[in-house]
């Protein structure tokens, strides 16, 4: 399985203070659902978060303002992958 922060040929956005949108969403999803859902579902939730919850704000640059990002997942998994909490 490979997860890319964006589609090939496009920008992957990063907030200078809080970090990349993809990593923020991935960390949030792992904290919230990391032991409840399988990996592919978690990454699907990450894609949704990034696509819907984030948008660039660069009012000084029209070409970069109000832009979105959509991560990409490629998988050849044949089984579900789960993370278990530490005991």
Residue 36, SS3 per DSSP: coil
Of 8, 6, 21, the residue nearest 71 (C-alpha): 6
Q: How far apart are CA 54 and CA 79, in angstroms?
A: 31
The whole-model pTM stands at: 0.90
Find residue 72's DSSP bridge partners.
Answer: 4
* Structural domains of the chain ordered from first start: 2-74 (3.30.70.1470)
Whether the CB-CB separation of 16 and 59 falls below 8 Å is answered with no
pLDDT tens column, 29-86: 999 999 999 999 999 999 999 999 999 999 999 999 999 999 999 999 999 999 998 8
> What pLDDT score does 85 carry?
87
Tokens encoding 42: 């978690």
């Amino acid at each position: 399985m490979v997860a890319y922060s964006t589609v090939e040929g496009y920008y992957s956005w990063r907030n200078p203070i809080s970090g990349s949108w993809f990593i923020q969403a991935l960390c949030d999803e792992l904290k919230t659902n990391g032991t409840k859902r399988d990996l592919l579902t978690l990454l699907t939730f990450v894609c949704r978060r990034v696509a819907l919850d984030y948008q660039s704000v660069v009012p000084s640059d029209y070409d970069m303002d109000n832009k979105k990002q959509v991560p990409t997942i490629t998988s050849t998994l044949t089984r579900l992958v789960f993370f278990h909490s530490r005991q």
